[in-house]
Amino acid sequence: MQQLEQQIKQLIIDALDLEDISVDEIETDEALFGDGLGLDSIDALELGLALKKEFEIKLEANSEESKKHFYSVATLAQFIQGQKGTA
């Protein structure tokens, strides 16, 4: 799971052009939006597209469940691992 979390962190940096932040600076359990990493709704769209492409997963655009999955790197990793298990 730790390797997947590292991949997600790097994907966040690459997909959102966060050149001034490193993988080590993103806390696994930190909120990605709001007071956490500070991402916004446009970032969510870009990140969602990058995750779909990289991990070949299905995401529902406006579902409450998707919002829960996007809370942190840890919740994204759990979601991706679950999707891969059902694929």
Is residue 59 a contact partner of residue 48, using CB atoms and an 8 Å limit? Answer: yes
Phi, psi of 80 (to 5 degrees): -65, -45
Give the tens place of pLDDT for each residue, 28-57. Answer: 999 999 889 999 999 999 999 999 999 999
Quick one: pLDDT at residue 84?
80
CATH topology (fold) of 2-86: 1.10.1200
Strands (DSSP E) along the chain, which ranges?
A: none
Domain ranges of the chain: 2-86
Question: 86 pLDDT band (50/70/90 cuts)?
Answer: low
Q: The whole model's pTM is what?
A: 0.90
